[in-house]
Amino acid sequence: MGELILIRHGETEWSLSGQHTSHTDLPLTAHGENQARALVPLLADRQIALTLVSPLARARRTAELAGLRSTRISPDLHEWNYGGYEGVTTEEIRRTRPDWNLWTDGTTPGPGEHPGESPSDVSDRADRVLADVRAAGERSGDGDIVLVAHSHFLRVLTARYLRLTAAEGALFRLETGTVSRLGTEHGNPVITAWNLALPDSLLRTVQDLPHSA
């Protein structure tokens, strides 16, 4: 296969405020939609064999606006289940748990179908996605595979791709509406690009264009 291309969805109200967002299915903000549209030129010269997308609307809308076609929904690309910390910021959590660290401590249980996830839970999902990607890559030849998903999950996936632990995903800050790429060098897994986006001056140009989608 070619490279593994990671796309974090565009901005939402909660990504802007820093609230943990997993199952709460918020739409993109207007700025988030423009971020997604601005991904089109960053993907234009790529030979894309397969696009896997999180089931959440913010990821699906980002894929649509980025011009990605023939997408396949992958439930394992869902964001880290934050359980009882859904909608809560890190600063708020640390008022009662000063030493709390998502990457090592995971989350507390939430209501109903949202029990939260540990780092090992998310790591297992990332490993399943990577196994799926490798199998697809064997079938697709030199084409790239695109994953459109969420910050914390993609950071864990990056760590696992690099043969690191899930907790080391903390090292890879990932911005909204960006393209990152994973590849190889001399047979070893490497990051080939990270947090690519149009400069703000060009993003303003995208905002001024008429939009049909």
Active site members: 9, 79
Q: Rounded to whole angstroms, what are the CA distances from 111 to 14, 94, 101, 116, 159?
A: 20, 21, 21, 9, 29
Q: What is the DSSP letter of 144?
A: E
CA angle 207, 209, 210 (to 5 degrees): 115
Please state at what angle helix 200-208 crosses helix 30-37, rounded to 10 degrees: 100
Which pairs from 105-110 meet CB under 8 Å and 24+ separation?
Answer: 107/80, 107/81, 107/82, 107/83, 108/83, 108/84, 109/83, 109/84, 110/81, 110/82, 110/83, 110/84, 110/85, 110/86
List 145's β-bridge partners, or say none: 4, 50
CA distance 121 to 99: 21
Given the DSSP bridges, would you call strands 48-53 and 71-73 parallel, antiparallel or unpaired? parallel
Looking up tokens 């064997």 gives 138
At 141, list the tokens: 């030849």
